[in-house]
Structures are given as structure tokens and as C-alpha cells.
Amino acid sequence: MPAEKILIVDDERLVRWSLRQKCEEWGYEVVEAAAGEPGLRLAQHESPDLVLLDVRMPDLNGIQVLEQLKKNGDAGAVIMITADPTVDDVKSALKLGAYDFVGKPLDFEELRVTIQNALEATRLRTEVQSLRGEVRRRTGYHDVVGVSPKMTELMSFVQKVAASEATTILIQGESGTGKDLVAKTIHYESARQNGAFVAINCSAIPETLMEAELFGHERGAFTDAKQMKKGLFETANGGTLFLDEIGELSPLLQAKLLRVLEDQVIRRVGGVRDMQVDVRVVAASNRDLEKAVREGHFRQDLYYRLAIIAIFIPPLRERTEDILPLVDFFINLYNRKFKKSVRGISPETRRLLLAHNWPGNVRELKNSIERAMILEEESILRPNYLPFAVGAAARSGLTAFEHMSAAPESSGKILVNGRVLPRLYIPEEGTSLEEVERAMVELAMRQANNNQTHAARLLDISRDALRYKLKKFELVPAGDEEATDSIPSENSAG
């Protein structure tokens, strides 16, 4: 492990010499400067772990140097050195982030301990930041990707909301737009980032269990309550509680939630004592809650309480400028995950991605790129493995790709077994026989209304061969158990 580096900034040559001797004796690497300006330049070049900084110097004083060091982020801990500290100097230095003061004449044993403690505090702070980054990574947090004016404006607003004292926030948008990611951004960019981020999908928990899940329960509160359990509000105390699909809460729970939001007080199921909590509640819904209020399905007072700060995420089809940056982000993500080295996308893939309507929004785009990354063997993502491209092509009755279309009439006809077929062309970026075969099998099944005998006859293969291909391409019709039983091998399929 390399020695930690200390920068000494002092205009007294004898002080610098004595400090260098001691610091090197204690095992540190040392660099030194005789004034503030050269000290700042050295800090920028050397990135020291700690700075011993004199307060009184002829050019810049120590307070000015400290302010610049902290502004530039060029140093770790800073210990101020002075023979005559004033109250104003001490206040200013500590406010700017100085670790401690030591006086002249120097007590080297005291200084050694102070340096050790300052460096240990820096190491712990770095470790905490690293662990915080790991928590963000494991919880799926990353910066929201978006370059469109709509997303730029949205994220600027989200940053303001995160920095505010707002305790209730409502996020609305279609399914797959990234409401959970915006909720995590609000948490991790706020003063609550050291607290817990707790999420629950309100539609995934039965109504009978939801109250205990949110507020906790006492032992014996109901049949299965063998011991006391904290609820999500207690778990998120000091942090953020994300209530996804808030529109699915029952009217009774809506009333109880409103009380908690108003008073920041909870009571466990079966309990007799109220408990104060400090929780920011971020709620989300893909339903139109205003319409739900008008129809009597959602409490008006709860809606107005949640919507004090309202955020609407536009669907992907309304911000097509974000599609390609998102594609780049997901390619990099899955390059790391799958240990691949895909460099980008082909022109045809780009055209198809930009032309697609994205009903499933960013989630659909992410899943599409993940599928393509798993299956692609080249360094460029071709359209072969885009699920919506394959499906659209099969429905059109041609081949696996929308862009493998019939050639003009002037190109003539092709005779196969006495039948006239339209002439087809292969796109410049190429395709694969397997994908063409898959599309033909899918087309035959559609044309035969999922009748396997008829589809096999259309393709001029045996029924066993068709059943093998249905299994191979995962085209077995829903509920058709016969097609999945005793699937023959490719060799036996004939």
C-alpha cells in the first residue's frame, strides 16, 4: 500500500523542515510549498491526503487557501497551524471544513495523533461514500437518462423537489416510464440519502395484510402475529417510503394514510401507543387519479395532500430524442453484465427503434435491448433480435424483418414447385436463416389458425418437425399442451 501523502504549506523554512522530518519519520510521503499560491498548484498536481496549512502567510492567508482547496476538491483533510489563532479564524476555518487547529510551537506528539485521526476520518468518509454507491447500484439507482427538453426540464424540477422539505410527492406517468427511478433520484439527491429507501407496490399486497405491512403490528394483534413487527413507516423513518400504485389502496387505508401524512404519527395494528415518524412519502400511479377522484374511487383529500408536489413523466413516444441515448446506456449496462463488447447499432436497427411507438415505454426499450444483447453475436446490434421487429414482420406475411419486403413487379417471378412466389431481397446488413425460418413457422401457424397439421402442410414438413420448431422458437400457442409433450429431437424431426 503506498504511503499517504502530506502537503506542508508554511512560509517559515525551519517549520517546513521540522514538519518534513517528523512526517517522513512517521511513514508519510511529503511535499512542501513556501506560500499559498504554490501550495494550491501543488495540491492540484499531487492530490494530497492531508494538508498542514499555516494561517499567516505573505500572499494568500491560510483561510483563503483552505477555501480554494475545498472548492477545487484537491485535498483530503486540512489541519491549520498558527501561533496566534483568533476566534474569527477558528470559526471561518471550521466552517470551511478544516479538521482541526494546532498551535506553534508545535507539540509533535499531539500533531502525530491529530494527523492519524484526520486521515482515519478521511478513510472512513471515503468508505461510506463507496458503500453508498454500492447501495445505489444494488437498488438499481442510476442517473435518469434523457436529453430531450421535456426530460431536461423534468429533471431540473426533480432536483429542486429533492432538495426541498416536501414530505409528500406524487409521480404520475404511464407504466414503464421510470417512476421508481425518479423516486430513487428524489431520495438519493436529498438530505435523506443516508436514511432508508423503502418501496412497496400497493397492488401486490392483499388488502387484509396491507395495514400491518405499512404500520406494523403488535404481538397477538391477529392469529398469525407471533411477535411484534415494525411496519414500513418505521423502517423508513428518517428516509423515504415509495408507495407504487397508490391508486390501488382501499378506501379504509386511504383514510389511515391521510392521517399519517397529516400528523407524521403511526400506530401499530393492535397497539395503543402513537409513534412519531419522520418520513418523506413518494407516491406513484399510472392511473389518472383526478379521474379516480371524480369517479369516487380515490379520496379527494388524500389526492390533494399527495399532489402538493406533482410530477408527470412523459411517455417515451413524446420524447424520441431520448431513445438513442437510452439505447447507448443500456448497451453499456449489458456489456458489463454479459461481458460483451457491442459497440453500437446498425442503421436499420436505429430506424426501427426510432419508428417504434414504445407502448411499454423505457421498460420495453430496456427489455428489447437486453434480449438483443443476449442473442447478438456480432459487435453491432442488428434488427434480427428486436422482438417488436420480428413480430411486425410476421404479421405482415413476409419474413422475419419488416425491411425484407417484396421486390418491385418489374423484377419478375420465382417458381417453386410450380407455385409463383414474390421475389424477395436480403438487406445489405444481412439476416440469418434461423430468423427467416422462425418467421415462416410463425406465419404458417397464424395462417392455419394454430392448426399444426395444416401449418405443417403449408410448410411441406412433417407434423413432428413442426412441433420441434415450435418448441425451438418458443412459438407454442398458449394452452396447447399437446405441442409441448414429447417434443422430438431435431434429428428425429426429419
User: What would the pLDDT profile of 107-122 be if each residue is shown by its tens digit?
Assistant: 999 999 999 999 988 8
Note the pLDDT of residue 450. Answer: 86
One domain for residues 220 and 130: no
Note the pLDDT of residue 153. Answer: 94
Show the DSSP H helices in 309-397 as ranges: 323-338, 347-355, 361-375, 387-396
**Max avg pLDDT among 65-69, 130-134, 224-228:** 65-69
**What single-letter DSSP state applies at residue 61?**
-
Of 247, 279, 314, which residue constitutes the final position of a domain? Answer: 314
Residue 310 has pLDDT above 70, yes or no: yes
Q: Which comes out higher in pLDDT, residue 214 or 104?
A: 214
**Angle at the Cα of 383 (from 378 to 384), degrees rounded to 5?**
70
Residue 106 has pLDDT above 70, yes or no: yes
Alpha carbons 287 and 310: distance in angstroms, whole number: 14
The cell numbers describing 494, all together, are 426429419
- Compute the average pLDDT of residues 21-46: 92
Show the DSSP H helices in 376-489 as ranges: 387-396, 433-447, 452-459, 463-472
Alpha carbons 494 and 491: distance in angstroms, whole number: 6
Main-chain dihedrals φ then ψ at residue 470, nearest 5 degrees: -60, -45
Whether the upstream peptide bond of residue 105 has omega within 30° of 0, thus cis, is yes
**Max avg pLDDT among 110-114, 299-303, 425-429:** 299-303
Amino acid at the residue 478: A
The answer to whether 43 and 75 have CB atoms below 8 angstroms apart is yes
250 lies in some domain: yes
- Compute the average pLDDT of residues 278-282: 96
Residue 478 belongs to domain spanning: 318-493
- Residues 6 or more apart in contact with residue 136 via CB below 8 angstroms: 142, 184, 188
One domain for residues 217 and 331: no
23 lies in some domain: yes
Comparing C-alpha atoms, which of 387, 422, 381, 383 is closest to residue 405? 422
Residue 59 has pLDDT above 60, yes or no: yes
Instruction: Return the SS3 of 28.
Output: coil
Cα atoms found within 13 Å of the Cα of residue 379, Cβ hemisphere only: 2
Mean predicted lDDT score pLDDT of the chain: 83
Main-chain dihedrals φ then ψ at residue 53, nearest 5 degrees: -125, 120
Residue 136 has pLDDT above 80, yes or no: no
The answer to whether 314 and 177 have CB atoms below 8 angstroms apart is yes
Spacing of C-alpha 302 from chain mean position: 29
One domain for residues 329 and 298: no
Instruction: Return the SS3 of 421.
Output: strand
pLDDT confidence band for 477 (50 / 70 / 90): low
The cell numbers describing 92, all together, are 471561518
Instruction: Report the b/e string of 228-258 with b at 16+ CB within 10 A.
Output: ebebbbbbbbebbbbbbbbbbbeeebbebbb
One domain for residues 482 and 469: yes
142 lies in some domain: no
One domain for residues 473 and 325: yes
pTM over 0.85: no
The CA-to-CA distance between both ends of the chain, in Å, stands at 65
261 lies in some domain: yes
Amino acid at the residue 54: D
- Residues 6 or more apart in contact with residue 233 via CB below 8 angstroms: 214, 215, 216, 241, 260, 266, 277, 279
Identify the CATH number of the domain in which residue 444 sits: 1.10.8.60
Identify the CATH number of the domain in which residue 104 sits: 3.40.50.2300
One domain for residues 336 and 424: yes
Residue 42 has pLDDT above 80, yes or no: yes
Comparing 128-142, 276-290, 440-454, the range with the smallest average pLDDT is 128-142
User: What would the pLDDT profile of 218-243 be if each residue is shown by its tens digit?
Assistant: 888 787 778 888 899 999 999 999 99
Alpha carbons 94 and 134: distance in angstroms, whole number: 30
140 lies in some domain: no
Cα–Cα distances in angstroms (integers) from residue 340 to residues 376, 419, 452, in the given order = 10, 45, 38
Alpha carbons 249 and 255: distance in angstroms, whole number: 10
Note the pLDDT of residue 74. Answer: 73
Cα–Cα distances in angstroms (integers) from residue 122 to residues 3, 94, 95, 119, in the given order = 15, 16, 17, 5
Identify the CATH number of the domain in which residue 296 sits: 3.40.50.300
One domain for residues 88 and 189: no
Note the pLDDT of residue 454. Answer: 87
User: What would the pLDDT profile of 447-468 be if each residue is shown by its tens digit?
Assistant: 888 888 888 888 888 888 888 8
Residue 131 has pLDDT above 90, yes or no: no
Of 314, 342, 366, which residue constitutes the final position of a domain? Answer: 314
- Compute the average pLDDT of residues 33-55: 91
One domain for residues 352 and 367: yes
Residue 398 has pLDDT above 50, yes or no: no
pLDDT confidence band for 327 (50 / 70 / 90): very high
Alpha carbons 354 and 4: distance in angstroms, whole number: 52
Of 265, 290, 314, which residue constitutes the final position of a domain? Answer: 314
Instruction: Return the SS3 of 346.
Output: coil
Alpha carbons 86 and 98: distance in angstroms, whole number: 15
Note the pLDDT of residue 419. Answer: 52
Amino acid at the residue 414: I
Note the pLDDT of residue 430. Answer: 59
Note the pLDDT of residue 415. Answer: 47
One domain for residues 113 and 192: no
The cell numbers describing 488, all together, are 422430438
pLDDT confidence band for 488 (50 / 70 / 90): very low
- Compute the average pLDDT of residues 416-435: 56
The cell numbers describing 330, all together, are 443500456
What whole-number percentage of the chain has pLDDT above 70?
Answer: 83
Strand partners of residue 283 = 170, 243
pLDDT confidence band for 438 (50 / 70 / 90): confident
One domain for residues 116 and 23: yes
pLDDT confidence band for 429 (50 / 70 / 90): low
Q: Which helix (H) or strand (E) holds 170?
A: strand 168-172
One domain for residues 65 and 160: no
Alpha carbons 50 and 56: distance in angstroms, whole number: 19
User: What would the pLDDT profile of 354-397 be if each residue is shown by its tens digit?
Assistant: 989 999 999 999 999 999 999 998 999 998 888 876 544 434 43
Note the pLDDT of residue 256. Answer: 93
Note the pLDDT of residue 408. Answer: 39
Note the pLDDT of residue 47. Answer: 86
User: What would the pLDDT profile of 70-104 be if each residue is shown by its tens digit?
Assistant: 888 777 889 998 877 676 777 778 888 888 888 88
Strand partners of residue 426 = none
Total domain count, the chain: 3
